Structure 1
């Protein structure tokens, strides 16, 4: 779960509170979580990444919370043919209705970015929300797609006449890494006269991403701020609502070694496919027809068929082993009987 939260003093007697959150879709549990977070934290602006929405579904953003206005960029084009994966993920802004009159949407050429202007007193703020490609962990080479996203952010800054720039979101690299992507992100911050918020004195840096197995941890969600306001951060940390709301709306699973089936490795490909397409189906709001629905049904059917087939094989093998064990027991019993008969014969000879 990725989220960070920061209030900034920008205009006189006015702070701007913003959050960034990678939702990995907008299914029922994600919408519930976002609504709970907005009600609890009441940020002025929420930056969302990986909404996984088609253009026809962007209206869902406006229904996330009645106190917020939304603007989003589609992550997947509306096509008839099947689309593999989530090419851009989709990004969106939600801002409080109290800022409605002072907010203006900015057009972006790159679908990994969306931007808005907010005017506070006499100060104009450009907010840029980004979902960057994954880190390639190369020491020397920056992926072309990652560089293109950085260049698009730089162009927004160059073309803007805003007094302050706030650039944030899931930037998919940890600034502590000594590799090409982290260097490129640091160079962007330098080029736009900005600082990374995690480096400010009031920041409480923490891992914003933890892998499902708990082994992979990193800080990949960032705010990049104009140097003129970076010293005005009140605090920057991981939202407490993450752990509170996450407990109630995200299922928690714990491995149970005692009940782990012996056939888990053989069934893993079928299970992984079924779980993947089930998650895609849920992120698409559970359609009742179409290719995503069909793929979910087919992979689920294949998984259960393979599971039944393997269980039949296991039962047949168990019966065969049990029969072999019974035959060995009978053979041992016959051998013991023969031994008793030989012993009785020897005793009979002695008596005679």
Structure 2
């Protein structure tokens, strides 16, 4: 017997007894105790609340539990660039009740960046579903003289090692996107690391530094308000959300750097539970309401409603990205103990 209603609640809300405003509450005792899921699923987001992964994770969790029946607890476990939450899921019971909603910077970059990340991104996890990708946007303060990518490249070549760009820290995606641009365009932008994306973004908004790669969902409001100028997106093609903003690949052939978001289970989850989760995500990703919500956030959805990316295809993408970013990390010299 399936639950008629469902709940998506945060760990904090669970402890306080409060339900998120958009959640529906599961009727006590309505779920059967035998079939999976018979108790709440804990979906771990290894980043802080309010970020891109957290926003997407909560929308997906709501729709997934609607398709499965039951309820889910969305739990933020930030720290060490996502390693703390990822380690927690890798070591969790292999019963299908603890899942990882993560991003490529944690799953594909951290193994090369950290000397001891505490998990194996391939061996310790089973892919459930690739949700989509979020492009970063190469942003400039409105006062910055270069108004286009060609103007930026020309300025950078005429003034090597003088133009600065901010990032959330050494080895973060918005750091490595700049390093990749340096390597592929033959320029020397100077990296200025911050302790998190918020202070980096604030200094670019304030004009202390001119440039930043920022995720589309977290910077879209600033772009629309004219507080930041969008020079280009990091995805291979233009984003439907910013159709007038070119892709960097239009000027630097082959440039591509997006943040993908996906759902994993720990390796060893029973086949029955894994199949239910994968089928639930197939249904969720075909749901028009979910797709509309995610696209409005700037997410470029994986596959189509009728043909989603398969778990095996997702696993292949992960391995490909691990190799790609390992080379960029090595060239950049970034490392974290």
Specify if TM > 0.5.
no
Q: Which has the larger radius of gyration?
A: 1
Question: TM-score when scaled to structure 2?
Answer: 0.26
Q: Name the structure with the higher helix share.
A: 1
Question: TM-score when scaled to structure 1?
Answer: 0.25
